[in-house]
Structures are given as C-alpha cells and as structure tokens.
Amino acid sequence: MSPPPECGLPLDVSLLHISIGLTFFFAFINGFHDGCNVIATIVSSRSMEPRKALALGALGEFAGALLLGTAVARTMAGSILDPGILGSIRPESLHVMIIGAVGGAIAWNLVTWMLGLPSSSSHALIGGLLGAGCVTLGPGAVVVDKVIMGVVVPLFVSPIVGLLAGFVVFSVLRALLDQAHSGIRHLFVALQKPSVLFLAASHGSNDAQKSMGVIALALAASGGGPKGDLDFPIWVVAACGACIALGMSMGGWRILKTVGYGIFRMQPAHSFSSQFAAASVILGASLLGGPVSTSQVVASSVMGVGASRRLSGVRWFVARNILYAWVVTIPISAAVGAGACWVLRKVLIG
C-alpha cells in the first residue's frame, strides 16, 4: 500500500531507489572485496607499489565494465528466476526481493572480508537471489536447468580451468626461458603492467555486469514487469563500472595478503603467468555470458602456477580454507537473503 502523496514518494518508487542504491553499494563492496585479487600478485612479487597498482587496476575495472558488453548481465537477469513469473508480481514485491538478495550478498562479503577469505561475490549475489526469490515467488520460480548450465557450471568449472591454465602457462614459460639470463626478471616486471590491466578489465566486465543485471530487473519492474528484452542504460553501465572501480581503489588488503602471500612465494614470472591465465579465463566467460568468480579464478590460477613450480611449495591448507568459503557461500547468502526478504515483506508489504 502506497503512502499518501504528501508523505513523500510512493512505496514502489522509494523501494526502486533503495534497490538501485543498494545494488550500487554491492558493486562497490564487490570491488573492495574482490578487486585486490586482481593486484595481489603484482604487489606480492614486488613489481609495483600497492597504490599505483590500485590506480591501474581501477582504470581497467571501469574500462572493462564500459566496453565489454552485457552478456553476463543478461544471464543474471534471465537465467536464475523465471522472467515470466517475475513479470507477474507487483513492482514493490520485486524491489523488496532485490533488497533482500543484495543485502544478503553484502553481509556475507563483509564477513569474509573481515576473515580475509577470498570468497566469491558472484556466489553471494546468486545465492541471495535464489533465497529471496524462493521467499517471494516460491521454489518453482527458479529456472533449474538455466541455473545449472548458465550459472552453476561456469562458477564451479572456472576455478578448475584457472588452475590448469596457470599450470600450463607457467610450464610453457619455464620451458622457453629455462636458460634465460637472470635479468629476465625485469621483463616480467614490465609485462605485468599490461597484464594486470587486462585482468582488471576482465574482472570489471564480468563482475560489474552482475550488478547491471539486477538493476535492469528493478527498472523493468517499474516499467511494467521484466518482459521481453531488458534495457541497460548507459548510466547504469557507467555507474556500476565506477562503483566497482571506486571499491577497488579503496583497497581490501586483508584478501590481498591471503592470495598474494598466503599460497606461495611469488616472483614476477609467477605473477605474470597467473594474471594472464586468470584474465583469459574470465574474459572468455564474460564474452560467453558466464558469471564466474574472479576470486576463485585468480586464487586457483595462483595455485596452478605454484603447483607447476613445485607441488610442495603451495600452502594447501590455505587453499583448503578458501575452498570451504567457496562451498558455503551460496547456501549461507541464500539463507540470509531469504531471511532479509521475509522480514522486509512483513514490515513493508504485509
């Protein structure tokens, strides 16, 4: 029920503004939480000062979000919850669902940031949408086949691909440069600048689009329901890119320490190999519309490089703790999103 005009904006308009604002905040937290994975190896290999790396990474994040399409955004908006069912509910119900889902994702991201665990913001947002969507629409609204093939498979296969890519890239480099002069280190220090820019752009292209997809749902609901082709206005694209870049520029140092220093001791050649491998996997997924986790892919590519160098040199107990965070992220964020959505529905809608 909408308040009288003199009390301010109608309820559905107010909730639209809150849902968009909270999603922008999620993009900021995403950059803060996941962005330091992008620069973790270039900093830990002492190839660039942290603040300069953050500035370069933030530039790449914004450029990637702005220039590399909206395929992932369309997957997020149309491959988790049935668009037809979403289009049949009142706008305020959908906005409350988004607020609960995004709130659950933010809460889990903040917990894992405090613990220094590079968990997945992608998993958190998808879990939040699943939990809040089930409360709002019922379990039947979950598009199970699309969730499995378009969301779950990319999320869980990409770390394996990242690990293998890191292993292969460094193995090839080591074979090619085994007899190279020790001065080759300076070459890899230089090569990391374009490679970290490439990695940041791939992260921005994939992760900013997840927020774009959620905002597109909110805007479509206010325009009569998410039916047909979703619209991604340039202000949404630019704002999501700016938020994720701003979040990264603030520096989530706790997670940087885990990825950059906790898995194995990095040298410039290792850092370049992991950056190139991770960026290739993430960018490929972005162009195909697959929402993958940058945290997972970067961490697994670092493990792959470390395993290629020396299997015993990888601190596998750190990898085990990271794996635990990956496994529990979707169910916990789904539960938090469902709980938040249930409370908000009782308070705001009745």
The CA–CA distances, whole Å, from 253 to 116, 239, 260 equal 8, 24, 10
**Entry pTM:** 0.85
Residues 112-152: tens digit of each pLDDT: 878 776 677 888 898 999 999 999 999 988 988 888 887 77
Considering the chain, what is the average pLDDT of its residues?
83
How far apart CA 323 and CA 299 sit, in angstroms, is 10
| pLDDT for 226 | 47
Residues 77-97: tens digit of each pLDDT: 888 888 888 888 888 999 999
Please indicate whether residue 293 or residue 236 has the higher confidence score (pLDDT). 236
Q: Name the range with the highest mean pLDDT among 74-88, 199-213, 289-303.
A: 199-213
Q: Could you tell me how far CA 255 lies from the centroid of its own chain?
A: 14
| pLDDT for 222 | 75
For residue 122, with 0-12 CB atoms within 10 Å meaning exposed, 13-18 middle and 19 or more buried, which class applies? buried
Contact 303, 263 (CB under 8 A): yes
| pLDDT for 319 | 67
For residue 5, with 0-12 CB atoms within 10 Å meaning exposed, 13-18 middle and 19 or more buried, which class applies? exposed
How would residue 2 be classed by pLDDT, with cut points 50, 70 and 90?
very low
pLDDT at 155 over 80: no
How far apart CA 252 and CA 33 sit, in angstroms, is 6
| pLDDT for 6 | 44
